[in-house]
Amino acid sequence: MSNTYIPIQMKVERIEIEDPDKALRTFDLVFVNEEDKKNFEYMPGQFCEWSLLGLGESPFGIASSPTETDFLRFTVSRTGSVTNEIHYLREGDTIGIRGPMGNWYPVEKFKGGNVVIIGGGFAFTTLRSLIVYMLEHREDYGDITVIYGARAPELFIYKDEISEWQKRDDIDIQLTIDNPADGWDGRTGFVPAVTKEIAPSTENTWVVVCGPPIMIKFTLPVLSELKFADDRIYTSLERRMKCGIGKCGRCNIGSKYICIDGPVFSLAELKKIPEAF
């Protein structure tokens, strides 16, 4: 059994800049040791702690799918000292990660049902993992609908991949931006309003919501208004992830530790911990 305190060595294989301001970068990491690769098993929704020796650690949701066995993908927004150093990494550099950590989206429970995925901004990472996973097991799921919002067209992440999904007839991709923009002929409006407008059917349908807290806060009531049951709605409290093992106590909300009890919760569970939002 691996020691959760000891980081796994990973090499930066590929870096992609996701936005014009270069504040979002996607990193593909590969295992330095083959044994670590064999032992690393994860599911969509889980996260890892990135360890930069002498600089610190930060938790990030895993954006790759378990079906993508050659690499782990993460998208990192430059928001502080550790993420700033991560943005200085170059292809070929070596870092450490600890994980996988936390629980995951209940993909087994989703089998045989329709799935609506609602995301916003760069918090689309674990949703990408979920989408790729379900597309790789397409026969296990019914209709897959994706509602994804960004402030502007250039701020969507994974643009090339989304473009490929839009060409498929087995997944419905609905993109929206906050305000009209030159050259944009898609939907305009905030995610909660667009979700209400699309009004996905509740029949045998599960919903996963992940995005900025304000988006989640205003989307959950819309889903309740559309008559989705609380135990059919899942979200991820990724922004509350801290040390990953519940030791620092900073992820504690009520009786729950987000790092070990979450980050994925149903709305039915969240209603028992009102401090969650």
Q: Residue 137: phi, psi to the nearest 5?
A: -120, 45
d(CA 40, CA 38): 6
Given this model, what pLDDT does residue 273 score?
76
Q: For the chain, list residues with pLDDT below 50.
A: none
Count of residues making up the chain? 277
pLDDT score recorded for residue 276: 63
Which pLDDT score, from 0 to 100, does residue 257 have?
80
**pLDDT for the residue 277:** 60
pLDDT of 96: 95
Structure-block tokens of residue 256: 């729950």
Q: Looking at residue 130, what is its pLDDT?
A: 98
The whole-number pLDDT of residue 254 equals: 78
Question: What pLDDT is recorded for position 128?
Answer: 98
- Tokens in use for 17? 């800049």
Task: Tell me, letter by letter, the H, E, C secondary structure of the chain.
Answer: CCCCCCCEEEEEEEEEECCCCCCEEEEEEEECCHHHHHHCCCCCCCEEEEEECCCEEEEEECCCCCCCCCCEEEEEECCCHHHHHHHCCCCCCEEEEEEEECCCCCHHHHCCCEEEEEEECCCCHHHHHHHHHHHHCHHHCCCEEEEEEECCHHHCCCHHHHHHHHCCCCCEEEEEECCCCCCCCCEECCHHHHHHHHCCCCCCEEEEEECCHHHHHHHHHHHHHCCCCHHHEEEECHHHCCCCCCCCCCCEECCEEHHHHCCEEEHHHHCCCHHHC
Per-residue pLDDT at 55? 85
Angle in degrees, 0-180, between the axes of helices 159-166 and 125-136, rounded to the nearest 10: 40
Predicted local confidence at residue 85, as pLDDT: 93
State the pTM of this model.
Answer: 0.94
Give residues with Cβ within 8 angstroms of 193, minimum separation 6: 222
Q: What angle do CA 114, 119, 122 make, to 5 degrees?
A: 145
Q: Which two tokens stand for residue 59?
A: 């938790």
Q: What token pair was written down for 30?
A: 């590969």
Q: What pLDDT was estimated at residue 131?
A: 98
Q: Both tokens of residue 180?
A: 């009209």
The reported pLDDT for the residue numbered 26 is 97
Residue-level pLDDT at 260: 81
